[in-house]
Amino acid sequence: MSEHFRDVSPDAPELQPILDGLFGEYAARYGDYFSRSAEVELTEWYLAPQGLFIVLERDGEIIATGAYKPFDAHTAEIKRIWTKHELRKQGLAAKIVQELERRAVLAGYSHIYLTTGFRQPEAVRLYLSQGYQPQFDVHRDPEEYSQPPFDGRLRFSKALSVERLSKTA
């Protein structure tokens, strides 16, 4: 079993079924909740040098994805974390997050920011386990964040450490 990361364009045809499935999962959890504040996404945000889109492949098959785009001059924003359904709970998303962090440092970022939805407890657990600082009360019922004045997004941030990441490279 051989695994490796590969940089891709978010427009790559091989990614479209995966991204369609990811957005389908979001729709199943949230319906049209986030459609009123849908973000405009530009491909160039996810291309070097300021952005990145990676896939984790095992024996030539894409098994996980992740990306970052610039949030500000010092902060990358993680997006599109996905793991093949039947391979979940095996640490693949954590591998993706760690590789994105490592590559963000190499690209000159010192912080990472991300949001996840209020109905994604597995994502909350992942980010907490990776040292991300929640910008919300983790003891509160997440459904409360779907009501005004909140927008349904659970925010996390993390300072990146060049020394720590260079030891894991």
Whole-model pTM?
A: 0.91
Distance of CA 96 to the CA centre of its chain: 8
Query: Which residues are bridge partners to 64 per DSSP?
Result: 56, 83
Segment 94-110 shows an average pLDDT of 97
pLDDT, tens digit, 9 for 90 and up, residues 47-74: 999 999 999 999 999 999 999 999 999 9
Q: Return the DSSP state at 84.
A: -
19 Cβ neighbours under 8 A, 6+ residues apart: 10, 80, 82
Q: How far apart are CA 77 and CA 113, in angstroms?
A: 5
Mapped onto helix, strand or coil, the DSSP state of residue 93 is: helix
